[in-house]
Amino acid sequence: MSGTSLDGLDFATCRFSFKNKKWEFEILKSATFTYNRDWKKLLENAPELTSAELLKLNQSFGKFIGEKVNEFKQDFPVNIDLISSHGHTVFHQPEIGLTYQIGDGAQIAQITGITTISDFRSTDVALGGQGAPLVPVGDKYLFKEFDYCLNLGGFSNISYDEKGKRIAFDICPVNIVLNYLAEKKGSLFDKDGILGSKGNINIKLLEQLNKLPYYAANPPKSLGREWVEKSFLPVLLSNKLNQDDIFRTVYEHIAFQIGKTLKINGRALLSGGGTHNSFLLERLKKYTEADLVIPDFQIINYKEAIIFAFLGLLKVSGEINCISSVTGASRDSSCGVVHFT
């Protein structure tokens, strides 16, 4: 898994079993390969590449993933049945039928010698869906004891059951914007929210952010880097405020939007890098009475990687792994492209 916050490649080796009509999983090994400066720059600038350059990057990134898989499974005496690779999202504009994740699955399969499933979003978009979020299938079957599953990654997204249907959508940007603001202050990210806690909330800016049209739209809906650049950042840049106050106001905006979404006093399982941000959690608790459950570090850091492994398993088993009530597609589907060795 490679997320929009560009932290690195998340790997999780999982064993799945189906017992008593219930899916169970075990994490055997996990790790993150942090991107060096060159890879981070390449992925960051990918949307600006020519078509030929982007195809070349797709191939070289797939090769990079395959090499890292081989490195990851060294001295690990477990037979790997398959690889599920989300890749890295370069474009996500489902409203015009466009979503594109780089990381050529054929390269991964041939370098590792392991059957690889990739390109998990295109089929759903072709069926008129958002192609996102995809993790709710895993939430439904692997974490069903929770009322909500809330991910705090590049974007925050939520998943829950309502009247027998799975509902899920992106709520608002989180680390994709917090990291952007931290970099303006010379840091890669805002550890524990220390940088963002220094300023004062600007009510005018907070109201402007909360009035962005996306928040009034009903699900299914999803966010991408393009929306941040087109709709979110211009609001920040148009306000002649000091950086501390902008930073502090963005934290309040994130907490408000997430809190507004947690409607009932149920149990919410948290995951994603934002779960480590103590100031963000402190602000979030001001806006919701839900019980925010912080799991062990492997679930926090690798939940999405675990679920993509599960989606790959469902794909090769010929089972549904993408729910239309979540994405808005014309029907449920089994998404992903299988690359045999």
Q: What is the pLDDT of residues 209-234, one digit of tens each?
A: 999 999 999 999 999 999 999 999 99
Based on the fold, state whether residues 314 and 212 are members of the same structural domain: no
Other Cβ atoms less than 10 A from the Cβ of 303: the count is 28
Other Cβ atoms less than 10 A from the Cβ of 42: the count is 19
Nearest by Cα to 108 from 54, 55, 59, 46: 59
Number of domains the chain is built from? 2
Q: How far apart are CA 274 and CA 269, in angstroms?
A: 13
Residue with tokens 């992106």: 170
- Do 269 and 147 form a contact (C-beta atoms < 8 A)? no
Q: What is the DSSP letter of 277?
A: -
Based on the fold, state whether residues 112 and 215 are members of the same structural domain: no
Pairing of strands 22-34, 8-19: antiparallel
Q: Which amino acid is at 318?
A: G
**Whole-model pTM above 0.75?**
yes
pLDDT at 141: 96
- Do 99 and 89 form a contact (C-beta atoms < 8 A)? yes
Based on the fold, state whether residues 140 and 198 are members of the same structural domain: yes
> 145 in a domain, yes or no?
yes
Structural domain including 323 reads: 8-132+302-339
Based on the fold, state whether residues 280 and 174 are members of the same structural domain: yes
- Structural tokens at position 316: 């090769």
> 329 in a domain, yes or no?
yes
Nearest by Cα to 268 from 291, 300, 297: 291
> 244 in a domain, yes or no?
yes
> 2 in a domain, yes or no?
no
Q: How confident is the model at residue 277 (pLDDT cuts 50, 70, 90)?
A: very high
Q: Which CATH number characterizes residue 21's domain?
A: 3.30.420.40
Based on the fold, state whether residues 13 and 76 are members of the same structural domain: yes
pLDDT at 6: 86
Based on the fold, state whether residues 128 and 32 are members of the same structural domain: yes
Based on the fold, state whether residues 93 and 119 are members of the same structural domain: yes
> 3 in a domain, yes or no?
no
Q: Could you write out the DSSP letters of every residue in 34-91?
A: E--HHHHHHHHTGGGS-HHHHHHHHHHHHHHHHHHHHHHTTT--S----EE---EEEE
> 1 in a domain, yes or no?
no
Based on the fold, state whether residues 128 and 277 are members of the same structural domain: no
* Percent of the chain's residues with pLDDT above 70: 100
Q: Could you write out the DSSP letters of every residue in 187-224?
A: -SS-GGGTTTTSS---HHHHHHHHT-GGGGSPSS----
User: What is the pLDDT of the chain when averaged over all its residues?
Assistant: 96
State the DSSP H helix or E strand holding residue 324, giving kind and residue range, or none if neither: helix 324-327
State the DSSP H helix or E strand holding residue 38, giving kind and residue range, or none if neither: helix 37-44
